[in-house]
Amino acid sequence: MKTLFIILFLFVFIDLFSQVTDTLNWDNKIYMGNKIAGISGDWRFSGELQVRLKNDMGELENWFVEGIATYMLSKKIEIVPDIRISIKPDNEIEFRPGMGVVYKLNKSSFQFVNQLKWQIDIDNKNNAENGLRYFIFTNHEIGEKFISNFAFGVFYKWKNDWNGFRFIRFGPGLTYLINKQHTINFNYLISAENDTKMWHWAGIPVVQLIININKEYKYLPAKYFSF
């Protein structure tokens, strides 16, 4: 219960912080997704549809479908190839294949997840940009129905005319376990994004429904979400 109060306090603090931040350099976005996941042997497969809104949640940033194939190599290591297809408001289509490695530590009711991932963004004009991201996720079970979590990560991008840190994101969250197969994640991220000229700040609520087709796993999967 103490951890739950801490999470609620952080949500209130972040909401107040977003109201007093310079409005010329602050945006309120929202990410909403639905993921379906299942297993076959040592493989875990998932597909997600996600919609992202910007400009005080009033304008479409993009929407995408993402497929992930996770090979659960051991209790601690997962190999994660994936592909994402994004549609932007100007009808630009972006393909983003990626390859990641997840290292996780599970101890009692606590999970610590490290994600290192390379990706390449290819638009419909065949322009390509490489990126490397490193994210940390912590998950702590609160009773039988809730999991508190915290995420922190950075994304480094390089292309022909620029390279540098593209964004930094961090924030708390809470997962509600509807049952063994259905969970819903609520997160709030503080985001600093670099447009190559200046940094832009944003507050991003993330809402994600996860439907697990299977109940039992050989190894406990890492709990994390896609950015």
User: Is 223 within the bounds of a domain?
Assistant: no
User: Is 108 within the bounds of a domain?
Assistant: yes
Residues 6+ apart with CB under 8 A from 191: 29, 167, 168, 169, 201, 202, 203, 204
* Paired residues of 185 in beta bridges: 175, 208
User: Is 221 within the bounds of a domain?
Assistant: no
In this prediction, residue 132 has a pLDDT band, given cuts at 50, 70 and 90, of very high
Kindly report the CATH number assigned to the domain that includes residue 48.
2.40.160.40
Q: Cβ(180)–Cβ(215) under 8 Å?
A: yes
Single pTM value for the model: 0.86
The parent domain of residue 92 ranges over: 2-212
User: Is 226 within the bounds of a domain?
Assistant: no
Burial class, 215, CB count within 10 angstroms (exposed 0-12 / middle 13-18 / buried 19+): exposed
User: Is 15 within the bounds of a domain?
Assistant: yes
Q: Which structure tokens are listed for 219?
A: 């190894």
User: Is 224 within the bounds of a domain?
Assistant: no
User: Is 130 within the bounds of a domain?
Assistant: yes
The more confidently predicted of residues 8 and 156 is: 156
Q: pLDDT digit string (tens) for 80-111?
A: 999 999 999 988 899 999 999 999 999 989 99
User: Is 225 within the bounds of a domain?
Assistant: no
CA distance 31 to 207: 6
How many structural domains compose the chain? 1
Q: Is the pLDDT of residue 8 over 80?
A: no
Confidence (pLDDT) at 2: 44
Mean pLDDT of the chain: 88
CA distance 107 to 94: 39
